Structure 1
């Protein structure tokens, strides 16, 4: 690897996973520079870095910065042409960094290159998504991806997309992202108002508006333990993520757009619940799980019908679960 790469690992109370992450980086990306931003862990994570990984730079801000601002902190301290934003619950597989850099070399328009994220059971995590446009909301609500597999693959719908196909996507999960420094600097890095969740949606959106692409590269594989920190911080991390996405929509696309998207999603979910109610009663083993998913989908999107205050409450100057105030 001839390119200079700085890897920013963002850590909060996942000591064992952090150790696995750093060991994988030491073995599979030995030439990369690594910095850990510890956001106030109480499980011995900082001590682990100091004692077992002396070559890793440890940064301990006075408060919990969240994800995006912590990556920005590392970015300000390096001139490396490539920056990786990584959760501590990820582990690089052999050859993944080289594959990401090769993909970036083939696509000079790529501001973000995302790997395939692999779950503990070996399954592929659904980690790429379309922007939440009203056209996408209507297509999902009407189930058009079930009628047209090509559409489902094109807009990366769970269960309908091909995870083995490299492609340009709207945005990718921020668990592990290779960022082209030129593009990252051009848009001002992560928006620090996105304290936790939707920062990956936001940076993908701003990259696109600035003329940069996000590329999904499945030949690069990264293991992911999925929301290891968030599950400790929030009683319902999925609901928190949904609220963050709708707060983002209200800020970037306008409150009417957020409400319209929520209404489309709720209409589709309510229709599916109505269609599944009787079959699930008659054959619960066959239809019960689908009914439960539809009800969960409705619950997650109901938050989008709120007013601006209810959407942003908890994201603007409100206390987080660990007592640290969130930046606005």
Structure 2
């Protein structure tokens, strides 16, 4: 196995994105790579086709649509935690199948990991298809900053709380941040094991925020590495049912916030979170359905 790197991607009928993901991967690293497709119930045949076309792929059927974090944990357990200890892969990659790899992007992340020995997670600069840079490196959401971003962000895009939370006014630089987008991460195996991987209560959304928070609390760092670049097409699963996904986002946000304020005397705060998120979810879901003509 030696320098072999495991790349985990969670598939759910990924369509042509998966082929682009796999075809561009050799440009990202000079290391030999094994790609584990943790499949959450694809029906389009894409993972099976990839298995035939790319000899370095492996297909792990999770048995259903278990969610992103749970699928990643299954793949890590199957292909890393039970690996021969003499091989001991120090790092692995988790990435969405709608990512297109930039030249040397993974090797650049690995080089940064050598500079940051306490980095538990490292993330690249993520470009959107329209050429803009996605704010993939952010602060942890505080009550004020995160709350105002959640409440006014959908209606006032340029508000100062959203800009601060997303670090929109920061120049791209290699630095420690609160959390990194789960769309593409280089993870240190010992750090991931230290925090027991992704929290499987999150079906989708916020699992990367939660992971970044728990890594930091365990003494690890989340390091943004903008010299590594990928393109994220964002067409895998989030766009199929926007209303359903928006509702899931708000449920995950409540789980995250409630965990951070668990004491009995913080119950009114948790109630306020629940009420505000319910109102916001109702507004944005209705707006999404109107756009789709429902």
TM-score range, shorter chain: 0.7 to 0.9
User: Partner of 1:179 in structure 2?
Assistant: 187
User: Partner of 2:166 in structure 1?
Assistant: 156
Aligned mate of 2:280, from 291, 299, 305: 299
Deviation at residue 57 of structure 1 after TM alignment: 1.0
Task: Please tell me whether the aligned partners of residues 262 and 301 of structure 1 are also in contact (alpha carbons under 8 angstroms).
Answer: no
Give the 3 Å change call, closer, same or farther, for CA 258–171 of structure 1 in structure 2: farther
Aligned mate of 1:134, from 131, 140, 143: 143
User: Partner of 2:47 in structure 1?
Assistant: 46
Task: Please tell me whether the aligned partners of residues 115 and 218 of structure 1 are also in contact (alpha carbons under 8 angstroms).
Answer: yes
> Aligned equivalents of 1:31 and 1:259: distance in 2?
50
Aligned mate of 1:200, from 178, 194, 208: 208
User: Partner of 1:228 in structure 2?
Assistant: 236
> Aligned equivalents of 2:193 and 2:126: distance in 1?
26
User: Partner of 2:291 in structure 1?
Assistant: none
Deviation at residue 13 of structure 1 after TM alignment: 1.1
Deviation at residue 55 of structure 1 after TM alignment: 1.9
Q: Deviations over 1:10-52 (max 9, x none)?
A: 1111120011001111343352221111111111112212221
User: Partner of 1:312 in structure 2?
Assistant: none
Q: Is 1:69 matched with 2:70? A: yes
Task: Please tell me whether the aligned partners of residues 21 and 91 of structure 1 are also in contact (alpha carbons under 8 angstroms).
Answer: yes
Q: What's the RMSD between the two structures over aligned residues?
A: 3.1
Q: Secondary structure at the match of 1:237?
A: helix
Q: Secondary structure at the match of 1:232?
A: coil
> Aligned equivalents of 1:233 and 1:26: distance in 2?
32
> Aligned equivalents of 1:142 and 1:243: distance in 2?
18
> Aligned equivalents of 1:21 and 1:163: distance in 2?
28
Give the 3 Å change call, closer, same or farther, for CA 256–5 of structure 1 in structure 2: farther
Deviation at residue 259 of structure 1 after TM alignment: 4.6
> Aligned equivalents of 1:96 and 1:301: distance in 2?
39
> Aligned equivalents of 1:242 and 1:253: distance in 2?
17
> Aligned equivalents of 1:131 and 1:95: distance in 2?
29
Aligned mate of 2:110, from 101, 105, 109: 101
Q: Deviations over 1:169-204 (max 9, x none)?
A: 111111011111110111111112222111101111
Deviation at residue 221 of structure 1 after TM alignment: 0.5
Gaps of 5+ in 2: 81-87, 285-294
Q: Secondary structure at the match of 2:112?
A: helix
Give the 3 Å change call, closer, same or farther, for CA 73–164 of structure 1 in structure 2: same
Q: Is 1:81 matched with 2:81? A: no
Q: Deviations over 1:142-171 (max 9, x none)?
A: 99xx898xx9876434xx333522221111
User: Partner of 1:279 in structure 2?
Assistant: none
Q: Is 1:117 matched with 2:126? A: yes
Q: Is 1:213 matched with 2:194? A: no
Q: Secondary structure at the match of 1:183?
A: helix
Task: Please tell me whether the aligned partners of residues 127 and 173 of structure 1 are also in contact (alpha carbons under 8 angstroms).
Answer: yes
Query: Which structure would you say has the larger Rg?
Result: 1
> Aligned residues, how many?
266
Deviation at residue 73 of structure 1 after TM alignment: 1.6
Q: Secondary structure at the match of 1:73?
A: helix
> Aligned equivalents of 1:191 and 1:111: distance in 2?
16
Q: Using CA pairs below 8 Å that are at least 6 residues apart, which structure has the higher relative contact order?
A: 2
Give the 3 Å change call, closer, same or farther, for CA 139–40 of structure 1 in structure 2: closer
User: Partner of 2:13 in structure 1?
Assistant: 13
Task: Please tell me whether the aligned partners of residues 117 and 224 of structure 1 are also in contact (alpha carbons under 8 angstroms).
Answer: yes
Deviation at residue 65 of structure 1 after TM alignment: 2.3
Deviation at residue 227 of structure 1 after TM alignment: 5.2
